[in-house]
């Protein structure tokens, strides 16, 4: 049972999966004596004990999850090629790895980003376009896809903007004067006709703006400012939430502005704020802790 198929993965990933599967089979019994029937007769308690052993050996939750994914891939292949099924493997759930905390920019860096667009273009209207998009991400907390889904009819913008977010959920977002001005400046300079039903943000030839170009603009700014790789377009949305919370914003209100279905998603920003406060305290009082 050494065959293992893992589609669309690198050689290193395939090797890691193969090691995980071989380690699993050895944990279940003698690999030389095990039959296909043995592999298909695993119990739930065996699966739990195997994952618990991995944790005791020092593997993190993410590593255990990867090992379980490898085993499931192996059994999927074994089922297709040898008819070996193990429902307990298919139903097994790995430990939940903690989601990494959002990594926002500082208020100073976020503000500077909005003045640094157009570094790699000779076209003023493209610089104004990129400024407008990034300003909506930081000033309104929009997702990149939400900003690029805006229509020509959304400009000029009023004091509030209607957004259709994930799950077709609608929310109203206040629009700061700075964001309205950035969009107005782009619209006035855009050489392509913007129709009410067409995209508000367009590319060089007038078609809908490719999301990768927004990431590319941010990458250029990141390199010029010496920012970490975490300074992505989405980090501007994180920055919007974190800075609003730091200024005393209500958590429920921020949840509404971000379009989060669950308050727990928004609560992650309180952890970011606490982490930043602790870091500042330790820097100011290094001997206090």
pLDDT in tens, 151-173: 999 999 999 999 998 878 899 99
pLDDT of residue 98: 64
Place 280 in a pLDDT band, splitting at 50, 70 and 90: very low
pLDDT of residue 272: 67
Question: Where in the chain are the domains?
Answer: 11-91, 107-284
What pTM was estimated for this model as a whole? 0.64
Here the tokens at position 1 are 């049972």
What per-residue string of b and e applies to 202-232 under the rule 16 or more CB within 10 Å gives b?
beeeeeebeeebbeebbbbbbeeeebeeebb
Burial of 104 (0-12, 13-18, 19+ CB in 10 A): buried
Q: What is the mean pLDDT of the chain?
A: 85
pLDDT of residue 121: 80
CA dihedral 221, 225, 231, 232 (to 10 degrees): 0
Instruction: Note whether 236 and 137 are within 8 A (CB).
Output: yes
Which candidate, 199, 219, 195, places its Cα nearest to that of 207?
199
Which candidate, 71, 30, 36, places its Cα nearest to that of 50?
71
Q: How far apart are CA 286 and CA 281, in angstroms?
A: 8
Domain range 107-284, CATH class: mainly alpha
Q: Which residues contact 123 (CB under 8 A, 6 or more apart)?
A: 204
Active site (catalytic) residues: 143, 166, 234, 237, 260, 269
């Amino acid at each position: 049972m050494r065959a293992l198929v893992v589609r669309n993965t690198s050689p290193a990933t395939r090797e890691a999966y193969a090691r995980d599967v071989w380690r699993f089979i050895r944990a279940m019994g003698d690999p030389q004596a095990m039959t296909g029937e043995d592999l298909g007769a695993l119990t739930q308690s065996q699966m739990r004990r195997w994952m618990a052993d991995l944790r005791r050996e020092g593997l993190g939750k993410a590593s255990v999850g990867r090992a379980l994914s490898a085993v499931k891939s192996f059994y999927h292949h074994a089922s297709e090629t040898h008819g070996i099924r193990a429902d307990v493997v298919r139903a097994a759930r790995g430990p939940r790895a903690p989601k990494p905390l959002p990594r926002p920019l500082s208020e100073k860096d976020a503000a500077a980003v909005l003045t640094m667009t157009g570094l790699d273009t000779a076209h003023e209207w493209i610089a104004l376009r990129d400024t407008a998009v990034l300003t909506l991400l930081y000033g309104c907390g929009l997702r990149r896809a939400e900003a690029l889904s805006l229509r020509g009819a959304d400009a000029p913008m009023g004091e509030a903007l209607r957004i259709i977010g994930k799950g077709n959920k609608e929310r109203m977002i206040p629009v700061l004067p700075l964001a309205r001005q950035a969009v107005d400046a782009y619209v006035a300079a855009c050489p392509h006709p913007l129709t009410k039903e067409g995209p508000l943000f367009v590319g060089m030839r007038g078609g809908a703006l490719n999301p990768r170009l927004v990431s590319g603009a941010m990458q250029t700014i990141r390199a010029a400012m010496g920012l970490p790789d975490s300074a992505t377009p989405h980090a501007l949305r994180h920055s919007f939430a974190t800075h609003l919370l730091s200024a005393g914003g209500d958590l429920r209100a921020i949840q509404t502005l971000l379009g989060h279905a669950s308050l727990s998603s928004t609560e992650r920003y309180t952890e970011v704020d606490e982490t930043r406060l602790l870091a500042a305290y330790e820097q100011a009082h290094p001997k206090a802790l």
